[in-house]
Amino acid sequence: MSSDPVISCSNVGKAFQLYLRRNDQLKQALFGRWKQFYHQHWVLKDVSFKVQQGETVGIIGRNGAGKTTLLQIICGITRPTQGAVKVAGRIAPILALGSGFDHELTGRENALIGGAILGVKRSVIEARLDQVAAFADIGEFFYQPLKMYSTGMAARLAFAVCAHADADILIVDEALSVGDADFQAKCDAYIHNFAKRGTIIVVSHDLEMLSMLCDRIIWIDDGAVRELGDSRAVIEGYRHSTDDKATATL
């Protein structure tokens, strides 16, 4: 593992504008220079950490803690309201690639688009289309419009494209956990193999998997980093916290 950081988050915060009344957004556009018509809701607050080359880092936290928003900022899908993020290397954002697909185009055509989004030359992704189709394992649907796909089939295609993009950094979200057991096993095997040569950030509620796969864990609680460190130690603290909260509600 190199000591060079490939991902650096410095004092990152993200706020969304919440409007209480239907026409407040229009008022903000017209009169926002003089008055604020929205309430700022901070999803992330002063998040700082570094991920080194070759490291596998897990992110845990309760639903709504800000985990997926943090991944979206790292991937460049959304910008932080404050702070800065630096990334060195090509990212394969499995959580979001499928959102850029065109539902009127075929799986094959979307694979070409996905490769382009990830910065892969067209000639390279064209040469790997058979491998992408085999990994996705959706049969003749690979040549059908995406609007005919189930959510699981679209996720298969997105993962398959990412798996053949020669990425330096793999970003995996819990949202990928769809499909049958065989495909999940294929994805797990790919992630474990990628961990031997690349950098991974993974969000999951599967604490056992994270404990075995990850070098470190970042625990996000109410938008802030509550703990960052050794996987087993952080997971143990997280379990105690969730157990205590569950007991308190009884």
CA distance 123 to 235: 44
- Residue pLDDT, tens place only, 39-68: 889 999 999 999 999 999 999 999 989 998
3-state DSSP of 76-134: CCCCCCEEEEEECCCEEECCCHHHHCCCCCEHHHHHHHHHHHCCCCHHHHHHCHHHHHH
How far is CA 200 from its chain centroid?
Answer: 10
Which stretches of 34-81 are DSSP H helices?
Answer: 67-75
Which stretches of the chain are DSSP H helices?
Answer: 24-31, 67-75, 107-117, 122-127, 129-136, 151-163, 181-194, 207-213, 231-248
CA 122 → CA 113, 116, 205, 207, 240, distances in Å? 9, 7, 36, 38, 49
* 7-248: CATH superfamily: P-loop containing nucleotide triphosphate hydrolases (3.40.50.300)
Listed by start position, the domains of the chain span 7-248
CA distance 165 to 150: 23
Strands 169-172 and 199-203, bridge-based pairing = parallel
Q: Could you tell me which of 47, 60, 64, 65 has the C-alpha nearest to residue 10?
A: 47
CA distance 73 to 148: 30
Residue 98 pLDDT: 66
Residue 201 pLDDT: 94
pTM as predicted = 0.82
- Phi, psi of 228, deg, nearest 5: -145, 125
- Residue pLDDT, tens place only, 125-155: 999 999 999 999 999 999 999 999 988 888 8
Strands 199-203 and 216-221, bridge-based pairing = unpaired
- Residue pLDDT, tens place only, 85-108: 999 998 988 766 666 789 999 999
